[in-house]
Structure 1
Amino acid sequence: MTASHCIIYKICPRPLWEAAQAIGQFEGAPVDLADGYIHFSAIEQVRETAARHFAGQDDLVLVAVDATTLPRLKWEPSRGGALFPHLYAPLTMSEVLWAKPLPLGPDGHHQFPLP
């Protein structure tokens, strides 16, 4: 997969995202800071990311970013050898396309604002 014309997604706790908005950039969640890059997912990966790493968590935000605007983005092997987008820089708010709530549905799964 390449970053060409690709929207990538970050799942983030709402309070952490609101704090990032207040300072104009997102430095990363604790896991991102520990790993040295901000974890993103492509559209075909984001639902599994939510199920694996955010199961049962409410009060989340789904953030969409155009990967072509991120010069320090690398696609690297991760889960099952699949290439995942990793950003080796803070994410500025000007790079964000949108951020929308990612609520839990009645079935306990996240309800994505995606096609």
Structure 2
Amino acid sequence: MLFHIAEAADWQRAHEAGDYRMSTRGRTLADEGFIHASRCDQVLGVAEAFYADAGPLLLLHIDPARLTAPVRDDEVAPGVVFPHIYGPLNLDAVTAVTPLLRAADGAFLLPDGLR
């Protein structure tokens, strides 16, 4: 399973457009050339690093076998590998959408079932 953090408004626009084309916060697939994704153990670090002052946020659960665009693991720093989706995210590859909630201290929390 792969994951992508999405702003709620961007996810809504994807349903209107028929596919999802945001790469990361404020950057599109056209800007970056791919859509940033992560594995479960990477989600909270990405949320803290790039979305600390954003909200409301959703966590898209992506089945890589359902993707119509290629996905590749890319080394973004020595020894640090993230999955990237090289094309639009087809909506039927998203098997679940859960809110990315915060604890009372503001720290992000993984949804139940992923903790």
TM-score of the superposition, structure 1-length normalised? 0.85
1:54 alignment counterpart: 51
> 1:20 and 1:96, CA in 2 relative to 1: closer, same or farther beyond 3 A?
same
% same residue: 28
Instruction: Give 5+ residue unaligned stretches, structure 1.
Output: 1-6
Higher helix share: 1
4+ runs deviating over 3 angstroms: none
State the number of aligned residues. Answer: 109
> 1:17 and 1:93, CA in 2 relative to 1: closer, same or farther beyond 3 A?
same
| Residue pairs, 1:1-115, within 5 angstroms | 7-29=1-23, 30-33=26-29, 34-70=31-67, 71-113=69-111, 114-115=114-115
> Structure 1 residue 32: deviation in Å?
4.1
* Letter aligned with residue 31 of structure 1: R
> 1:103 and 1:58, CA in 2 relative to 1: closer, same or farther beyond 3 A?
farther
Instruction: Give 5+ residue unaligned stretches, structure 2.
Output: none
> Structure 1 residue 100: deviation in Å?
1.1
TM-score of the superposition, structure 2-length normalised? 0.85
Counterpart CA distance in 2 for 1:101 and 1:73 is 24
Whether the aligned pair in 2 keeps the contact of 1:27 and 1:91 (CA below 8 Å) is yes
1:3 alignment counterpart: none
